[in-house]
Structure 1
Amino acid sequence: MGFPGTWMTESESVVYRVVPKCACSTIGQIMYYSDHGQFFDGDIHDAQSGLHKWALEGSQQPIAHNVQTHKSYAFTCVRNPYTRILSSFFDKICGIQRNGSRYRGNMVPMLVYKYGVEVGGDDGKQEFDQIASFRRFLLFARDTIRWRRPMDPDIHWSAMSGHVSTFISNGGQYDNIFWTETFNDGMQKVVDAIDTPHQVDLETVPRFNESEGHGPKRQHPVEDYFDDLSMHMVYEIYKRDFDLFKYDFENPANKMPTGEIDLDEVHAKLGA
Structure 2
Amino acid sequence: MGFPGTWMTESESMVYRVVPKCACSTIGQIMYYSDHGTFYDGDIHDATTGLHKWAREDSRAAIRANAETRGAYAFTCVRNPYTRVLSSFFDKICGIQRNGNRYRGNLVPLLIQKYGIEVGGDDGQGDFDQIRSFRRFLLFVRDTVRWRRPMDPDIHWSSVSGHVSTFIVNGGRYDRIVWTERFEDGMQGVLDNIQMPHPVDLAQIPRFNESEGHGPKRLHPVEDYFDDLSMHLVYEIYKRDFDLFRYDFANPANKMPIGDIDLDEVHAKLGD
TM-score of the pair, normalised by structure 2:
1.00
Matched with 1:182 is 182
Offset of residue 60 of structure 1: 0.6
Q: State yes or no: 1:23 paired with 2:23.
A: yes
Structure 1 moving runs of 4+ over 6 Å = none
Offset of residue 71 of structure 1: 0.5
Counterpart code for 1:146:
R
Whole-angstrom distance in 1 between the partners of 2:117 and 2:42:
31
Counterpart code for 1:240:
R
Gaps in structure 1 of 5+ consecutive residues: none
Whole-angstrom distance in 2 between the partners of 1:101 and 1:227:
31
Matched with 2:142 is 142
Counterpart code for 1:228:
D
Report the 3-state secondary structure (helix = DSSP H, G, I; strand = E; otherwise coil) of the residue aligned with 1:2.
coil
Question: Deviation string for 1:161-204 (max 9, x for gaps)?
Answer: 00000000000000000100000000000011100100000000
Percent identity (aligned): 80
Whole-angstrom distance in 1 between the partners of 2:122 and 2:40:
31
Whole-angstrom distance in 2 between the partners of 1:141 and 1:61:
35
Offset of residue 133 of structure 1: 0.3
Matched with 1:223 is 223
Matched with 2:211 is 211
Residues 1-272 of structure 1: pairs in structure 2 closer than 5 A: 1-272=1-272
Question: Deviation string for 1:246-270 (max 9, x for gaps)?
Answer: 0000000000000000000000000
Offset of residue 245 of structure 1: 0.1
Whole-angstrom distance in 2 between the partners of 1:103 and 1:89:
11
Counterpart code for 2:200:
V
Whole-angstrom distance in 1 between the partners of 2:190 and 2:52:
18
Question: Deviation string for 1:98-149 (max 9, x for gaps)?
Answer: 0000000000010011100100000000000000000000000000000000
Offset of residue 206 of structure 1: 0.2
Offset of residue 154 of structure 1: 0.1
Tell me how many residue pairs correspond in the alignment.
272
TM-score of the pair, normalised by structure 1:
1.00
Question: Deviation string for 1:20-48 (max 9, x for gaps)?
Answer: 00000000000000000000000000000
Report the 3-state secondary structure (helix = DSSP H, G, I; strand = E; otherwise coil) of the residue aligned with 1:193.
coil
Whole-angstrom distance in 1 between the partners of 2:93 and 2:205:
29
Counterpart code for 1:31:
M
Counterpart code for 1:77:
C
Whole-angstrom distance in 1 between the partners of 2:28 and 2:59:
15
Whole-angstrom distance in 2 between the partners of 1:200 and 1:255:
27
Whole-angstrom distance in 2 between the partners of 1:242 and 1:118:
29
Counterpart code for 1:261:
I
Whole-angstrom distance in 2 between the partners of 1:209 and 1:226:
24
Counterpart code for 1:177:
I
Counterpart code for 2:100:
G
Gaps in structure 2 of 5+ consecutive residues: none
Report the 3-state secondary structure (helix = DSSP H, G, I; strand = E; otherwise coil) of the residue aligned with 1:172.
coil
